[in-house]
Structure 1
Amino acid sequence: MFAGISEAMAARMRELEAIDAADRGDGTPHAKRLRQVSPDTGRFLAILAAAAPAGKLVEVGTSAGYSALWLSLACRARGGELATIDRDPDKMALAEETLRRTGTADVVRLVRGDALEALAAMDSLAFAFIDANRDVLLACARCVTDRLVPGGILTADNVISHAHEIPGVVEAILGDPRLDGVVVPIGSGVLLARRRA
């Protein structure tokens, strides 16, 4: 699967995967669904984060903490922690349970509140994963890009599956002269960009 996944983590991942699958098929309202990444996307993000340059790791859109579990593996491999941001109190409660049950609270810090406000207070970002509502995706990407260290990595999910909801956004991010980037057809489509030196 991936080095460093404990039994508790694997069990929680399977549980969240089952909840997510059920949410997608049983009519759970969109705002209440977990809407998490696929296992392949999680693995991909963990590899990218582990290979990022020195600096801080951030995630926008915690949900129940599934992708944070994957990114916690990178934190253990490289040292440091992940700050993961969400404003939904129900999702943050689920994320707290995820961290408690998996023993990952030592490398994952939950940040409650507005993503743009939280990002504006950060600096020296080495890796960022944006899995936020589409209406704030571009603003979050611009805020992150301003704070990326040279060689820093910006990723965003759902850029293929929800392309119709974000017209022009991917093009705007990839057109930023500070970034080199590409859309990777994994999961729901991941935008991957690197801050130029």
Structure 2
Amino acid sequence: MSVTKDFLTQVHQLYQQLQKHDAQQTDRLLRYRSIEPESAHLLGMLIRAQQAQKILEIGTSAGYSTLWLVEAAQSTAGRVTTIELDLERSLQARAYARQLQLDAYINLLTEDALIFLQQCSEQYDFILLDAERDAYTQYWPYLMQILKTKGGLLVVDNVLSHASDVEEFMHLVQENMQFTSVTLPVGAGLLLVTAH
């Protein structure tokens, strides 16, 4: 099942709307900071190529990237669990998913990602990390445990646009010989991490 024209039209309109909102905000934390469309498109392709079924997103925001993950998950008979700390943003994401009739494929949690990761006993085929970057080093020990060892893929956004913010995290990933990683110059920069 390929991406439909209707889906592309609706997510494009949503992206424009979220970008317009962000342009009016001076405080970074009030912005939605959605993933770039080309990155979102690539995420969908990776899920399809990998045939990922158990998908985790850390950092829902208003749900733009979530829609792309879920749209791809439909074709793999997969399901997306997405975590957002801000209740208002969770509700927005839920509303957008309902609008596109994708809410049946989402488990949307409003909680602290670190607590979720500490308590998580499941393994995921595909993980998107796009949250507050200063927490990534804390997340890493738990991400290693929940990323499926055979064919699991962790994707981290903003590794080129905010290279200094993720420098310590990148170092932790690269020095761990259990994992291999590559940085793609797509959007704000995507780091792809997989177990050997």
Provide the rounded CA distance (Å) in 1 between the counterparts of 2:62 and 2:4.
17
Provide the rounded CA distance (Å) in 2 between the counterparts of 1:11 and 1:54.
25
Q: Deviations over 1:110-144 (max 9, x none)?
A: 01101122223241211000001011122223312
Change (3 A) 1:171 1:58: same
Partner in structure 2 of residue 130 of structure 1: 129
Task: State the 1:64 CA deviation.
Answer: 1.0
Provide the rounded CA distance (Å) in 1 between the counterparts of 2:97 and 2:42.
21
Code of the residue aligned with 2:155 in structure 1: it is: T
**Is structure 2 residue 190 aligned with structure 1 residue 195?**
no
The answer to which of 131-140 and 182-191 deviates more is 131-140
CA contact (8 A) 2:84 2:90 kept: yes
Residue of structure 2 aligned with 1:45, choices 43, 46, 55: 43
Q: TM-score, normalised by structure 2?
A: 0.90
Task: State the 1:73 CA deviation.
Answer: 2.2
Change (3 A) 1:51 1:101: same
CA contact (8 A) 1:145 1:154 kept: no
The answer to which of 13-22 and 90-99 deviates more is 13-22
Task: State the 1:19 CA deviation.
Answer: 2.7
Code of the residue aligned with 1:47 in structure 2: it is: M
Code of the residue aligned with 2:125 in structure 1: it is: A
Q: Deviations over 1:8-54 (max 9, x none)?
A: x3344123211332244323421121101111100111111223366
Unaligned runs of 5+ in 2: none
Provide the rounded CA distance (Å) in 1 between the counterparts of 2:113 and 2:145.
15
Code of the residue aligned with 1:63 in structure 2: it is: S
Partner in structure 1 of residue 141 of structure 2: 142
Partner in structure 2 of residue 171 of structure 1: 171
Provide the rounded CA distance (Å) in 1 between the counterparts of 2:28 and 2:14.
16
CA contact (8 A) 1:141 1:154 kept: no
Partner in structure 2 of residue 181 of structure 1: 181
Change (3 A) 1:89 1:12: farther
The answer to which of 166-175 and 32-41 deviates more is 166-175
CA contact (8 A) 2:126 2:147 kept: yes
Change (3 A) 1:124 1:53: farther
Code of the residue aligned with 2:57 in structure 1: it is: E
Residue of structure 2 aligned with 1:14, choices 12, 15, 20: 12
CA contact (8 A) 2:137 2:168 kept: no
